[in-house]
Structure 1
């Protein structure tokens, strides 16, 4: 309701501003004795209003107002409505025709664009669903097979073997839980169910929290940190940004084959803080770079399935990263490092906290 009211006031303001400018210009022309272009100015004002506002009503109202204004103030007899002259009637008809035709055209264009955007969203949802279904099948099969084995013939295995099987079930279950959390983050933010509330967050505390969680999950993977010496405070939703950094680090662990070095670097660039996760692994195939954040890039490149469920995450983690960063009015990119490996980089604005936040 508030959004609809906002659009109405926005359209009214556009119409008012356009006609104030048209009226001011006409007054100037009238004082200089140039009357013949005044009608053209109001016709152009009707055209602009029809383009810049939604639907037909504002264009038609502007045509009526313009017709009355020209007839009353700028044509003979002045300051009196008189439609007996043919030129006055022609002006009125032209303005109405422009308003209706322009309104029809802009409405069709906006409708077409809305349909196009919605179709693209549906395509992305379908690709995401196919990707998730494709990759979830493997850990589910593993969990089902392992649990069935323990139930049917667990007594035939040693204690160490049973513990190993149970750890496998635990790891795959944990992977599935994180997949679901990532999916929920995407859908909630896209549907506006999560409101990004930014609070001042100290950079060092943010990184410490991420590292604790990351090392708990990947105790063998060392991360080299390169952080500013100064205390940096960034307005953000700390929980969501933690998820972004964790996902980027995890992505390197899962996909950067041959990696021996993983670096998390943070630096200030102007009014932005830039987070950079780089590795010296296998890098990203050039044809996959453009679609790496869409949640299912590997399905379009003929990537074959792997028996190791840990090597699959459908790019969902990267899609989550893009969704969260965009919700923070930031930007995220991916590229190959010239010396080898990949670099993921995202930036957040260092902005003053507003009361609305």
Structure 2
């Protein structure tokens, strides 16, 4: 209820962006009418042009203010400038009230429809955000509770049993460390999602980065955590510069490689590659682990698939959270992502658009 008093002010609010849009469209209408007036001595062409101008202004500005102003100015312009006697008002023109009402109704109807459409789009965006928040909350409550329980259990066992052997203590501490590392990854994913949501109205700061260097850094960290997995890297002979936020794209690569090990079940090797494909840089992460059920592929990146829905026996790892973060990051870069089962193993692929300079230098 508290928002209703503010609604009229929003519908008739002033902004410089709307002002310049309306001014530009109206100026184009005036110039066009002048050009047509120089080419044709007859009157009557101005009214439909200003109707179109009012329609465009109402469509591309927020609220009703500039559409209504354009209606009034349009009627004045048609009467004062483009109707005989020129540069003088003549209120005895046949159909003059109809022209004014037509422009006014066009403005009101178009502004109303445009405002309603924008409100519906804003509501849809808000619903999508709420859905994402609900999915994240469900994922976090699931992902954090179990590791914390394991950490508490391991540390409590050590503290309450001072007679434990060093080997048992070391095993419990290693379990606690692994769970803590997983929690760190969950927090990093959440921070990335928050960062992307906070910058939805602005573009992510992208700079040309050498794709091979970002890939190599992600692989280096992966090898440190999973030394038992054999990793191969494939990259083009020439340097490939890709506009990106390197920290976020490195996180995408790390998530996909770790996902291959944690959820692949039998994964023993991972292959990471990057190459130019048309106007995109194509990143590929392949693993020789278990395939993903075909029924889960369409919803793989929306954060709703749990790991225990794919491979039973370990319900503490949420496959969907990391993949939904990857999709959000790639989407914020203007790219696409997909996953598919191969004859042997699974391949995740995402594409990032290249800059015009890169396309011209390496066609």
TM-score higher than 0.5: yes
Report if the CA contact (8 A) 2:259-2:319 is conserved. no
Moved more, 89-98 or 17-26: 17-26
Change (3 A) 1:268 1:191: same
Moved more, 205-214 or 47-56: 205-214
Determine whether 1:256 maps to 2:264.
Answer: yes
Paired residues for 1:1-357 under 5 Å: 8-30=15-37, 31-155=39-163, 157-192=164-199, 196-298=204-306, 306-307=313-314, 309=316, 312-327=317-332, 329-351=333-355
- TM-score, scaled to structure 1: 0.86
Report how far residue 304 of structure 1 moved.
8.3
Distance 1:298 1:243 in 2: 20
Report how far residue 339 of structure 1 moved.
1.7
Indicate the residue corresponding to 1:3 in structure 2: none
Report if the CA contact (8 A) 1:189-1:195 is conserved. no
Report how far residue 268 of structure 1 moved.
1.1
Change (3 A) 1:264 1:304: closer
SS of alignment partner, residue 223 of structure 1: strand
Once the two structures are superposed, what CA deviation does each residue of 1:285-340 show, in whole Å capped at 9, x if it has no partner? 333223322233339x966874464xx0342222222232233x231312213424
Q: Considering only aligned residues, what root-mean-square deviation do their CA atoms show, in Å?
A: 2.7
Report if the CA contact (8 A) 1:263-1:278 is conserved. yes
Report if the CA contact (8 A) 1:334-1:345 is conserved. yes
SS of alignment partner, residue 266 of structure 1: strand
Unaligned runs of 5+ in 1: 1-6
Report if the CA contact (8 A) 2:64-2:108 is conserved. yes
Distance 1:233 1:303 in 2: 37
Q: How many residues align?
A: 342
Distance 2:300 2:168 in 1: 38
Q: Tell which has more relative contact order, 1 or 2 (C-alpha 8 A, sep 6+).
A: 1
Distance 1:15 1:147 in 2: 67
Change (3 A) 1:119 1:338: same
SS of alignment partner, residue 347 of structure 2: strand
